Chain A
Amino acid sequence: MQRVDVAALAAASPMRGREPDRFQYELMIEDDDGRREVTVSEDRVPEELRPLLDRVRAQG
């Protein structure tokens, strides 16, 4: 998460997908700068977020 520009992601949210019926992820990120929500479609996930989402998905 240290590599993620949370402010930029929140500003770009919701990152709508191009492909129908893909999953959408809603992330609530809380850090020293406050709480922000990021919504991103499965087919629009930025590379810097992929490790986090992979970990969340692996946990079920």
Chain B
Amino acid sequence: MHCRSHGLHCVLPPIVLENIARNGSDEQRDWATRALSCDHSIRLARVQNSHAGVAGPNQRADALVGVSEPHPARVISDAQNTENVRGPIVRREGDPPTGDVPTDQAYDGLGDTFEFWFEAYGRHSIDDAGMPLRGVVHFGDMYPNAFWDGQRMVFGDGDGQVLGVMTGSLDVIGHELGHGVTEAEAGLEYWGQSGAMNESLSDVWGSLVKQYKLHQDAASADWLIGSEVWTPAIAGDALRSMKAPGTAYDDPLVGKDPQPGHMDDYVETIRDNGGVHINSGIPNRAFYLAATEIGGYAWEVAGRIWYEALRDPALRTDSGFAAFARLTVIAAERLQGQGSPAASAIKDAWDNVGVPTEQPALQSLTAH
């Protein structure tokens, strides 16, 4: 029998794969984990097929008829307050809770994110090819941040004075894994306007993961990113507000939320990779306006349109706001129809934040 996803013949018994997944190198653990995921699906298909009477005398019992849904292949490692992202594995897919809060929150958050992508858009993990979801907890010494390093999501514990542990924020987890999706689809360069678009897309995905988990429609969502992250000592609601950029926090220690919500207030800077976390407020607000104008669950129409725009081959690594905006209108017209309420809502949303959606006559659609 041939395990299609990675060419591994599934003649190996699961216990061998499990041992490799536990003890092997990164590469070995990767393919073993994928094999276990594939193997699990095939075994479930066998059970389903046998129950349904599909496997007749002339049919293979392992035919993938009615194959079960993919499930995440989660692996959580503990950096033990060092910066080693390849520390001991503390929880694998299917393992029971460990009792360590960051470990278990990371495990759950990765699972919720996987579920969102698969159930909302049919996307099988970050790379749409069953990529294992790796998380690293207890990174660094009171490290007040979380990031995606291209292969894994890394969480610090926070310093306890300004920022708490990030694993408790589902939209932060969705945001960071969203960088992986953007990387896989468009590779938007992390600088200037393309970088701000990269950041905004991660905020969109993070917010949608949370809304999906909480069954919230666009009208009832809070549109905040990282509302669980500040400690009580900080005067702030969240790290960012998609609804009202610039209002998320205002504190003597950490300063005021610098995000603009309109191109008139675009910040030209070399800091923050050209202001990627600052100017992302502009496309963030565009998405909020579009989603709330369209109504219903934001992932169903607005989110789908944003996703299709991200996957459009015309989106370049250096594409800026206007290029992306144009692609959302194209996607809206394709999915919802020209002149549809959704297409109009999206054009209005971008217009309200000062981003043009019309094709410029002679200029290229790149960041200015």
Decide if B33 is an interface residue (CB 8 Å cutoff): no
User: Are A21 and B272 closer than 8 Å at their CB atoms?
Assistant: no
User: Are B148 and A39 closer than 8 Å at their CB atoms?
Assistant: no
Contact with A along B126-168 (1 / 0, CB 8 A): 0000000000000001000111111000000001000000000
User: Are B198 and A20 closer than 8 Å at their CB atoms?
Assistant: yes
- Which of B176, B270, B271 is A21 in contact with, Cβ under 8 Å? B176
User: Are B191 and A19 closer than 8 Å at their CB atoms?
Assistant: no
- Which of A14, A20, A41 is B270 in contact with, Cβ under 8 Å? A14
Chain A residues with CB below 8 A from B271, complex form: 24, 26, 39
Nearest A-chain residue to B161, judged by Cβ: A60
* Shortest CB distance A45–B (Å): 11
User: Are B273 and A17 closer than 8 Å at their CB atoms?
Assistant: yes
Chain B residues with CB below 8 A from A23, complex form: 145
Nearest A-chain residue to B195, judged by Cβ: A20
User: Are A20 and B147 closer than 8 Å at their CB atoms?
Assistant: yes
Q: Given A16-B190, A16-B191, A21–B146 Cβ distance below 8 Å?
A: yes
Decide if B318 is an interface residue (CB 8 Å cutoff): no
Contact with B along A20-39 (1 / 0, CB 8 A): 11111010000000000001
User: Are B273 and A21 closer than 8 Å at their CB atoms?
Assistant: no
Q: Tell me the count of chain B residues lying within 8 A, CB to CB, of chain A.
A: 19
Decide if A55 is an interface residue (CB 8 Å cutoff): no
Q: Given A39-B270, A39-B271, A20–B202 Cβ distance below 8 Å?
A: yes
User: Are A20 and B145 closer than 8 Å at their CB atoms?
Assistant: no
Nearest B-chain residue to A54, judged by Cβ: B141
Nearest A-chain residue to B199, judged by Cβ: A20
Instruction: Give Cα A23–Cα B272 distance, bound, in whole angstroms.
Output: 8
Q: Is the interface of A mostly helix, strand, loop or mixed?
A: loop
User: Are A19 and B148 closer than 8 Å at their CB atoms?
Assistant: yes
Contact with A along B267-309 (1 / 0, CB 8 A): 0001111000000000000000000000000000000000000
Chain A residues with CB below 8 A from B191, complex form: 16
Chain B residues with CB below 8 A from A20, complex form: 147-148, 176, 179, 190, 198-199, 202
- Which of B149, B199, B270 is A19 in contact with, Cβ under 8 Å? B149
Chain B residues with CB below 8 A from A26, complex form: 271
* Shortest CB distance A9–B (Å): 15
Instruction: Give Cα A51–Cα B148 distance, bound, in whole angstroms.
Output: 24
* Shortest CB distance B152–A (Å): 11
Chain A residues with CB below 8 A from B147, complex form: 19-22
Nearest A-chain residue to B179, judged by Cβ: A20
Chain B residues with CB below 8 A from A17, complex form: 190, 273
Instruction: Give Cα A26–Cα B271 distance, bound, in whole angstroms.
Output: 9
User: Are A24 and B272 closer than 8 Å at their CB atoms?
Assistant: yes
Instruction: Give Cα A19–Cα B202 distance, bound, in whole angstroms.
Output: 13
User: Are A21 and B145 closer than 8 Å at their CB atoms?
Assistant: yes
Chain B residues with CB below 8 A from A19, complex form: 147-150
Chain B residues with CB below 8 A from A14, complex form: 270
* Shortest CB distance B291–A (Å): 23
Decide if A3 is an interface residue (CB 8 Å cutoff): no
Nearest A-chain residue to B146, judged by Cβ: A21
Contact with A along B187-230 (1 / 0, CB 8 A): 00011000000110010000000000000000000000000000
Chain B residues with CB below 8 A from A60, complex form: 159
- Measured CB to CB, the residues of B under 8 A from A are 141, 145-150, 159, 176, 179, 190-191, 198-199, 202, 270-273
What would 13 A/B residue contacts be, using CB atoms closer than 8 Å?
A16-B190, A18-B150, A19-B150, A20-B148, A20-B176, A20-B179, A20-B199, A21-B147, A24-B272, A26-B271, A39-B271, A57-B141, A58-B141
Task: State the 5 A-B residue pairs at the shortest beta-carbon distance, nearest first.
Answer: A21-B147, A20-B179, A19-B149, A22-B147, A19-B147
Beyond A18-B190, A20-B148, A24-B271, list 9 extra A-B contacts (CB 8 Å). Answer: A16-B190, A16-B273, A18-B150, A20-B176, A20-B179, A20-B190, A21-B148, A24-B273, A41-B273
